[in-house]
Amino acid sequence: MSTDLQTRTAAQPGERARAPQGPWRSNIGLKIIMAVSGILLVLFIIAHMAGNLHVFEGREEMNAYAAGLRSFGEPLLPHESFLWIMRIGLIAAALAHIWSAVVLTRRAMVARPVRYASRKPARGESRHAVATMRWGAIVIVLFVVWHLLDLTWRTVNPVKDIHDAYGAVLATFSPERWPVTVFYLLALVALGFHLRHGIWSAVQTISGPNTKWRGRTQAISLAVAVVVVAGFAIVPLAVTFELVS
Amino acid sequence: MKLSLRIWRQPDADTPGKMVSYEIDDVSEDASFLEMLDVLNERLIAEGEDPVAFDHDCREGICGACSLMIDGQAHGPQAATTTCQLHMRKFKDGDQIDVEPWRAGAFPVIKDLVVDRTAFDRIIQAGGYISAPTGTAPDAHAVPVPKQDADAAFSAAACIGCGACVAACPNGSGMLFMGAKVAHLGLMPQGQPERHTRVLGMVAAHDEAGFGGCTNTGECAAACPKEIGLDVIGRLNRDFRKAAARAA
Amino acid sequence: MSTDFYREGEPIADTKAPAGPISERWEKRRFSGRLVNPANRRKLRVIVVGTGLAGASAAATLGELGYRVANYCFQDSARRAHSIAAQGGINAAKNYRNDGDSVHRLFYDTVKGGDFRSRESNVHRLAEVSTEIIDQCVAQGVPFAREYGGLLDNRSFGGAQVSRTFYARGQTGQQLLLGAYQALQRQVAAGTVDLHTRHEMLELVIADGKARGIVVRDLVTGEISTEIADAVVLATGGYGNVFFLSTNAKGCNVTASWRAHRKGAYFANPCYTQIHPTCIPQSGEHQSKLTLMSESLRNDGRVWVPKRRGDDRAPGDIPEAERDYYLERRYPAFGNLVPRDIASRAAKMVCDEGRGVGPGGLGVYLDFADAIKRLGKKAVEAKYGNLFDMYERITGENPYERPMRIYPAVHYTMGGLWVDYDLSSNIPGLFVTGEANFSDHGANRLGASALMQGLSDGYFVLPNTISDYLADGPFEPLGEDHEAVVAARKEVDDRIAFFLNNDGDRTVDSFHRELGKIMWEYCGMERTDEGLRKAIGLIRGLKDEFYRRVKVTGKAEELNQQLEKAGRVADFFELGELMCIDALHRTESCGGHFRAESQTEDGEAKRDDEHFSYVAAWEYGEDAPVLHKEALEFEYVKPTQRSYK
């Protein structure tokens, strides 16, 4: 008889399947990256939306706010350093968000190689997301490009003076440039739908609430989406309809 | 009643398939959907044609063998009902009905409406169990389990592994299936020791099989014949996050 | 005696069960059986056919022990074996309720419930092991129903006086099977079990008198291959589908058992079938299977039919005075709760009188109007809501407003391949577990005992007894060119070629349906000498026609569901004939077997212990089957007549 120690044969954790690139490259890992970066972007958007409302205080205050962003932290920090920290963080979050989205979208396309011949409207809890998330994302990306050319770099804006934020806003949404306003509002609708699903989806991905809290998260997402859209939309509408001049 | 069917016909995995139309008369409204296909097949055989292949077994909604995308809906129009329990009275005389297999990269078509779902077995192999070799068990009353945990575990364990979640998901994701097992075992005290390794192993096997990620649209839960909810995906996400953080 | 249909051979006996006090026999046998050194287990290969409770549990456990296991199932996943559909629960003599239960009481109830046609030694072991099964399943994470204190809930089931049934809502079979399936998948990952899904066993390989392997067909590619091993375990379930309409899954079949039988394994008590009284009646010719409604419905529902023949008024229009609550009338003590066989036969009787309701007059009402009045709709919904929903999905009728229609249906087969105490058939190396064997239920199975037996065999009995046989192994390797392998493969190839080349014009299903009707009519709930003789003639005629006219489309090298069915139905013909012969020869009534000639004055089953206290083990014979009798002795439970008046 053998004197070897016999161990029960069983699957050891080490023998189990492993993701080729580690847990953070898995679908859920990428979703967590997307969720965390998305929440950072949401925080930025809310701050941005709130800042925009300075336009109603007039040229002086609005431009002072814009200048304040550049000089924030001085003299402890060099000029514009806070702004650049924010910008780098924002760019990193946006890249992480887009990169994870692209990878997951490509995997999703591989996962459904043949489409159904027959299609019924979606019937899930967040059914609008099927139609709005990816298309919405493309609209938002296009908008952001335009928005940077318009109000950050002023390439397509008549007001070239970087320090005159107020003038630039008034110029871009002036009544005769109504298509810009329409595009802006359209992008806002896309953003609204993106947030309505994106916020609760991020919470679901990170913390997985139960049914009760999922319902509450969905309600909060909707509320945030409405406030953000309304807060952003009020500025171009006010300018276009000449309530601010 | 009289129906026109458009059914996906595909002779084998390597040959491209197509939708083929069939007219069928005298369908009893008391027949189940599969019995309607049985009647069609009897006719096709009599005519010397190849009958439509489809998976089925228990025909009482528990084995999970039957599948079928009916008019673009997994298991057809009736909620909380598998195809074998769907009856023709849910349709109207003269309806046109499209019948397709589950479509997912991880579920390749074998023939007609039959797909290969062994990817689900591989996910279970990667950790969807509690290691309790026969003969080592303590008395069943040694560890009490709070009733609400036991009930919640049962609800998750009601999954029949049919794959409707994958079929309905726009991303072809198996998260609901995987979440159901992670939730079931994670809710039981017996499942705690392997909780972290389980979720990492299963997620890796899921991705390797070629299932997509989760967009939280809820299509899976709406299609699930056993009404398993998105909670289980939440639990899966939570367990995964903790396990991944610990592994890092 | 109807010896024109069979010959009588030598009596047989179970030589493995030790003598002595019954409660010590299992321990004695475990000690007297030889063991296999752990290092040698790796060299031994065991084939397990089937992945239900008996198969998956055996394959997983053998894998854990270190044997090299090859496991086969015809389904696309091991998780879909028909054990999954068991609803009610699983018995165990835990006595968690302190209500007087014990191993001995479970043993006693099971022997009595089986109408004194089972082996005492086997049943006692089953009762002993029952407690370990619950422990094992809880350790695997099976979510049994629990009470608020966190301990396991129990209920009484099938007329038992104690609460010993453990359950997981109405899906106990599913949860137990998933536990076994997960244990099996764990062994697959560990590499001890090779699992082959979508593979069907079509032949047994016997070399030098030992079962050494099986021939299987890959149902996807059609490839025929041979698996050689040191022992073969059949865990292939019951044969209720011989009736075409039954509560079994569509794929359930007898082929693996029958192929073994044709190779020499004895088939025991084939006529013992259990007819379940509460199933949804057939709605038309398209019907492909019958659905069971939980027996618990009889706790609150009242069974009735109209008093007048051919009364086709809607049930609500039939006044109380014109209804016949026949179970309450005939069995005042038990009323609607009489055992399965009695309730089934009573339903048949009223339908035969022309008082049945629904399509074809094959149904009786199960009425909840009184229960709703007494308890309120809410309470009824809480108790039976999911069953009512299922009924409505299938029939389109609302059982809250209109009484349910129910009718008996074939549910379980107590008969199966003959095995000894070690679960070994008479062919060395061929073991049979679960519903596929005949061993523990006698002539009638009690509710919640099927799951118990499947898991007892697979987790605890077989892994302990098979080592005594395997201790002689490993056996000499067999090559593909061994004459036994070549011959077995040729048989399979020839059969497949026959079906595909037959120039027929009738579908397999049409034959199966017709066979089922014959079986149901003459070998169903009530059997007579005349009817059984007629059935044998009809089956032989239909079988001839089957071989002349059956039409199978398609090729051998593809997924061909018609070809699969054809082989199964061919075997059902031979089994059906043997069932009728067995039923014909057993001129007594016992359990699920009711011979009209053997009844008491008031129509109850009458056993004949003097002549029939034996297991009928049938040996296959080309011309006629050979009957071997295994005498049954009752040392601990003395046979009595059952009464439910």
Query: Residues B102, B205: one domain?
Result: no
pLDDT at A156 over 70: yes
Q: Which one of C192, C193, C194, C195 would you mutate to disrupt binding with A, by most A Cβ within 10 Å of its Cβ?
A: C192
Q: Does A110 touch chain C (CB under 8 A)?
A: no
Q: What is the mean pLDDT of chain C?
A: 95
Cα separation of C222 and C116, whole Å? 45
CB contact under 8 A, B150 and C145: yes
CATH of residue B128: 1.10.1060.10
Residue A4 lies in a domain: no
Residue B24 predicted with pLDDT over 80:
yes
Q: Predicted confidence band at C295 (pLDDT cuts at 50, 70, 90)? A: confident
* Same domain flag for B59 and B97: yes
* pLDDT score for A8: 39
User: What three-state secondary structure class fits C9?
Assistant: coil
How many domains would you assign to chain B?
2
Assess if residue C427 is contained within a domain.
no
Residue located via tokens 């009425």: C367
Per-residue pLDDT, C572: 98
Subunit contact C37:A15, Cβ cutoff 8 A: no
Chain C residues touching chain A at CB-CB below 8 Å: 37-39, 63-64, 66, 186-187, 189-192
Q: Which two tokens stand for residue B137?
A: 């068990």
For chain B, give the mean pLDDT: 97
Residue C340 has pLDDT above 90, yes or no: no
- Sign of the alpha-carbon dihedral angle for B3, B8, B11, B16: positive
Q: Is position C340 annotated as part of the catalytic site?
A: yes
- Identify which of C37, C38, C190 has the shortest CB distance to residue A10: C190
Distance of alpha carbon C549 from alpha carbon C92, whole angstroms: 50
Contact C84 B62 (CB under 8 A): yes
Domain check: are B123 and B49 in the same one?
A: no
In this prediction, residue C643 carries a pLDDT of: 72
Question: So what's the pLDDT on residue C291?
Answer: 94
CA nearest C326: which of C308, C310, C302, C354?
Answer: C302
| End-to-end Cα, chain C, rounded Å | 33
- Look at residue B138 and tell me if it is in a domain: no
Reported as a pLDDT band with limits 50, 70 and 90, residue A7 is very low
User: DSSP 3-state assignment of C616?
Assistant: strand
The C-alpha atoms of residue A50 and residue A62 are separated, in whole angstroms, by 12
C601 pLDDT exceeds 90? Answer: no
Query: In angstroms, how far is CA B9 from the centroid of its own chain?
Result: 21
Per-residue pLDDT reduced to its tens digit, C236-276: 999 999 999 999 999 999 999 999 999 999 999 999 999 99
Instruction: Answer yes or no: are the C-beta atoms of C234 and C49 closer than 8 Å.
Output: yes
d(CA C538, CA C517): 11
* Cβ within 8 Å, pair B207-A19: yes
Q: Are residues B122 and B243 in the same domain?
A: yes
Please indicate, yes or no, if residue B139 is contained in any of the structural domains.
Answer: no
User: Both C400 and C280 in a single domain?
Assistant: yes
CATH number for C353: 3.90.700.10
Cβ separation of A1 and C192 shorter than 8 Å?
A: no
Contacts of B122 (CB under 8 A, 6+ apart): A17, B205, B208, B209
Give percent of chain C above pLDDT 70: 99
Q: Are residues B71 and B168 in the same domain?
A: no
- The domain tally of chain A equals 1
Shared domain for C300 and C400, answered yes or no, is: yes
Per-residue model confidence (pLDDT) at position A2: 40
Residues B126 and B239 in one domain: yes
Q: B132: nearest CA in chain A? A: A10
Helix (H, G, I), strand (E, B) or coil at C590: strand
B176: its two tokens: 């609901």
User: Of C392, C411, C430, which residue is a domain's last?
Assistant: C411
Residue A16 included in any domain: no
Q: Is residue C111 part of a domain?
A: no
User: Across the interface, do B217 and A129 touch by the CB < 8 Å criterion?
Assistant: yes
- Domain assignment present for C12: no
Whether residue C602 is found in the same domain as residue C508: yes
pLDDT digit string (tens) for C362-375? 999 999 999 999 99
Q: What is the Cβ-side half-sphere exposure of residue C36, based on CA atoms within 13 angstroms?
A: 25
Mean of the per-residue pLDDT values for chain A?
90
Same domain, C496 and C583: yes
Where residue A19 falls among pLDDT bands split at 50, 70, 90? low
Whether B32 is covered by a domain: the verdict is yes
Residue C294 confidence (pLDDT): 85
Tell me which chain C residues have a C-beta less than 8 angstroms from the C-beta of B157. Answer: 143, 168, 175, 178
Provide CB contacts within 8 A for C348, sequence distance 6+: C408, C524, C525, C526
**For residues B163 and C129, what is the distance between their CA atoms, to the nearest angstrom?**
36
Give me the pLDDT at residue A16, please. 44
Q: Contact, C495 vs C487, CB < 8 A?
A: no
State the best of A18, A28, A206 to mutate against chain B, taking most chain B CBs within 10 Å.
A28
Q: pLDDT by residue (tens digit) across C10-65?
A: 999 999 999 999 999 999 999 999 999 999 999 999 999 999 999 999 999 999 99
Handedness of CA C30, C32, C37, C42 (dihedral sign): negative
Q: Does residue C225 belong to any structural domain of this protein?
A: no
Look up the domain containing A138 and give its range.
Answer: 26-113+126-240
Active-site residue identified among C340, C345, C445, C489: C340
Q: Provide the number of structural domains found in chain C.
A: 2
pTM attached to this predicted model: 0.96
Q: Is residue C204 part of a domain?
A: no
Q: Among C348, C377, C411, where does a domain finish?
A: C411
The answer to whether B213 contacts A28, with C-beta atoms less than 8 Å apart, is yes
Tell whether A55 is covered by a domain.
Answer: yes
Please tell me the distance in Å from C55's CA to the nearest CA on chain A. Answer: 19
DSSP element (H, E) containing B96: strand B96-100
Nearest chain B alpha carbon to C180 = B129
Q: Which residues pair with C618 in a beta bridge?
A: C267, C627
Give the C-alpha separation, B201 to B214, whole Å.
Answer: 17
**pLDDT number for residue C159:** 66
Closest CA to C279 of C402, C396, C407, C399: C407
- Report d(CA A245, CA A238) in Å as an integer: 9
Question: What residues of A are in contact with residue C187 (Cβ under 8 Å)?
Answer: 9-11
- The helix (run of H) or strand (run of E) holding residue A82 is helix A81-111
A-contacting chains (≥3 CB pairs under 8 Å): B, C
Provide the pLDDT for residue A20. 56
Mean pLDDT on C536-565: 97
Q: Is residue C534 a part of any domain in this protein?
A: yes
Both tokens assigned to B182: 């992670």
B170 and B234 co-located in one domain: yes
Q: Which residues of C touch B11 (CB under 8 A)?
A: 558
CATH number at residue C602: 1.20.58.100
State the nearest Cα–Cα gap between C235 and chain B, in angstroms: 18
pLDDT band at residue C88 using 50, 70 and 90 as cut-offs: confident
Strands, sheet with C416-417, edge to edge from the N-terminal-most edge strand: C7-8, C626-631, C614-619, C267-268, C416-417
Please indicate, yes or no, whether residues C487 and C362 belong to a single structural domain of this protein: no
Say if residues A31 and B207 touch (Cβ distance below 8 Å): no
Owning domain of residue B20:
3-110
Q: Quick one: pLDDT at residue A236?
A: 96
How distant is the alpha carbon of residue C630 from its chain centre?
21
CB contacts of C190 in chain A (<8 Å) are 9-11, 15
Question: In the beta sheet, which residues pair with residue B104?
Answer: B107
Would you place residue A228 in the very low, low, confident or very high pLDDT band (cuts 50, 70, 90)? Answer: very high
Beta-carbon separation of C190 and A2 below 8 A? no
- Confirm whether C51 is domain-assigned: no
- A2 lies in some domain: no
Same domain, C389 and C500: no
For residue C140, list its beta bridge partners. Answer: none
Of A71-75, A173-177, B104-108, C197-201, least confident by mean pLDDT is A71-75
Q: In this structure, what CATH number is given to the domain that contains residue B92?
A: 3.10.20.30
- The answer as to whether B137 is a domain residue is no
pLDDT in tens, C189-243: 999 999 999 999 999 999 999 999 999 999 999 999 999 999 999 999 999 999 9
Q: Where does a domain end: C411, C434, C453?
A: C411
pLDDT (tens digit per residue) in B205-233: 999 999 999 999 999 999 999 999 999 99
The pLDDT, as a whole number, for residue C156 is: 84
Q: What is the pLDDT of residues A82-139, one digit of tens each?
A: 999 999 999 999 999 999 999 999 999 999 999 999 988 999 999 999 889 999 999 9
Residues of A in contact with B122 (CB under 8 A): 17
CATH number at residue A83: 1.20.1300
Residue B52, phi then psi, degrees to nearest 5: -75, 125
Residues B169 and B58 placed together within one structural domain of the fold: no
Contact C143 B157 (CB under 8 A): yes
CB A157 within 8 A of CB A151: yes
Q: What is the mean pLDDT of residues B108-116?
A: 98
Q: What is the per-residue pLDDT for C607?
A: 96
- Of the listed ranges B161-170, C374-383, C618-627, the least confidently predicted one is C374-383
A19 in any annotated domain: no
Q: Is the pLDDT of residue C147 over 60?
A: yes
- Using one digit for the tens of pLDDT, what is the confidence trace for A49-90? 999 999 999 999 999 999 999 999 888 999 999 999 999 999
B89, part of any domain: yes
CA atoms within 13 A on the CB side of B155: 13
> How far out from the chain centre does Cα A147 lie?
14
* Residue B136: pLDDT band with limits 50, 70, 90: confident
Give me the domain span that covers residue C605. Answer: 483-612
